């Protein structure tokens, strides 16, 4: 009697403290249907990857755990490795390419959420919402920060990286009345005309003129520590720095020192190098708003992300062209 053909296996790998609202793989199973078996696993790092995960035909990874060449070499059946999110800097995509494993991400979910969050962080600083709230909650009603409150139409909002999210953020800032400028050396000439904002040809020029600087670039060798001591020193002492991109784009030690010394007026950081904050001293840094890597998150965004990653996994097991391949395969 012939042996039954093995059905493709798809592993959805979540981190162990996953929010209960996100746990399980029912949505993925619904999208993928009968073409494969979908199984849900918990793993905090690649050492937690079980043989069942490593032998899967497609792997969907939630968290930002490092995935090295040694682990990729054990993925003997893998037809696609999907990073459930935008960033993939923790995955050795070159090693995956050498083994013929496409790596995909989900770049088009959460665009609105991250742009909204960046604007919210900027507005919280520009309008001094947290100091005002502390004053009111202490039963006071004094306008201690009135000298820091600014009219938006007098301020320049600087965008570093005008991709999907950077563009969405720029349009929101423009609608609020900011003068918007951007720096992105990889975009073709004329992009600024299509969006209706100003372009500068160097990061230094943007840092010197902007009252708010919002980062929207990937993390790679070029952008690691894009903002460090030298760059912070170029900013106005009244300027605010916002990061909803990747933690390593800003040197944590440098920005915390700049806030303590008053080199810049404040920072709104959704992502932080080596997150979370490690000490009470870091958490007490003046004029710092931190938001637990939450910018991407919404009920609708989670559904969109999970649906997209499941669709790519289904494409892989069916032998169809894959969406969002990032390692050239």
Structural contact between residues 250 and 215, judged by C-beta atoms closer than 8 angstroms: yes
Work out the end-to-end distance of the chain between its first and last CA atoms, rounded to an integer number of angstroms.
38
With H, G, I as helix, E, B as strand and everything else as coil, classify residue 169: helix
With H, G, I as helix, E, B as strand and everything else as coil, classify residue 175: helix
Catalytic annotation on 275?
A: yes
Longest dimension (CA), the chain: 85
Sign of CA dihedral 248, 249, 251, 252: negative
Structural contact between residues 309 and 106, judged by C-beta atoms closer than 8 angstroms: yes
Structural contact between residues 203 and 160, judged by C-beta atoms closer than 8 angstroms: yes
DSSP string over 15-29: -TT--TTT-SSHHHH
Give the integer Cα–Cα distance in Å for 45 and 51.
Answer: 14
Our CA angle for 169, 171, 173, nearest 5°, is 70
Structural contact between residues 108 and 164, judged by C-beta atoms closer than 8 angstroms: yes
Distances (CA, A) of 282 to 34, 237, 279: 50, 20, 5
Closest to 161 (Cα-Cα) out of 87, 214, 113: 214
Closest to 161 (Cα-Cα) out of 280, 246, 51: 246
Q: Which of 246, 273, 306, 311 is catalytic?
A: 246
Count of CB atoms situated within 10 Å of the CB of 131: 17
Catalytic annotation on 246?
A: yes
Q: Which of 135, 229, 275, 282 is catalytic?
A: 275
Sign of CA dihedral 114, 119, 120, 124: positive
Task: Name the residues annotated as catalytic.
Answer: 246, 275, 293
């Amino acid at each position: 009697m012939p042996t039954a053909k093995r059905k493709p296996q798809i592993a959805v790998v979540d981190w162990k403290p996953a929010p209960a609202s996100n746990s399980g793989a029912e949505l993925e199973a619904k999208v993928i249907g009968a073409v494969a078996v979908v199984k849900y696993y918990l793993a905090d790092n690649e050492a937690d990857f079980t043989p069942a995960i490593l032998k899967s035909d497609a792997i969907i990874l939630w968290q930002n755990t490092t995935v090295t060449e040694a682990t990729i070499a054990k993925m003997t059946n893998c037809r696609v490795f999907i990073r459930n999110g935008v960033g993939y800097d923790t995955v050795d995509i070159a090693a995956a390419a050498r083994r013929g494993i496409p790596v995909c991400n989900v770049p088009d979910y959460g665009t609105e959420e991250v742009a909204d969050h960046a604007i919210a962080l900027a507005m919280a600083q520009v309008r001094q919402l947290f100091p005002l709230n502390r004053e009111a909650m202490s039963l006071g009603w004094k306008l201690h920060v009135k000298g820091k409150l600014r009219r938006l139409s007098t301020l320049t909002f600087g965008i570093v990286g005008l991709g999907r999210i950077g563009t969405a953020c720029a349009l929101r800032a423009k609608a609020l009345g900011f003068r918007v400028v951007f720096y992105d050396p990889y975009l073709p000439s004329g992009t600024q005309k299509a969006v209706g904002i100003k372009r500068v040809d160097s990061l230094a020029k943007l840092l010197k003129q902007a009252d708010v600087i919002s980062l929207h670039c990937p993390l790679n060798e070029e952008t690691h520590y894009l903002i460090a001591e030298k760059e912070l020193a170029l900013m106005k002492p009244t300027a605010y720095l916002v990061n909803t991109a990747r933690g390593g784009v800003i040197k944590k030690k440098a920005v915390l020192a700049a806030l303590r010394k008053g080199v810049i007026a404040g920072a709104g950081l959704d992502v932080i190098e080596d997150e979370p904050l490690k000490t009470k001293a870091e958490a007490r840094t003046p004029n710092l708003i931190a938001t637990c890597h939450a910018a991407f998150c919404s009920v609708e965004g989670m559904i969109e992300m999970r649906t997209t990653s499941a669709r790519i996994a289904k494409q892989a097991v069916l032998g169809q062209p894959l969406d969002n391949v990032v390692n050239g395969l």
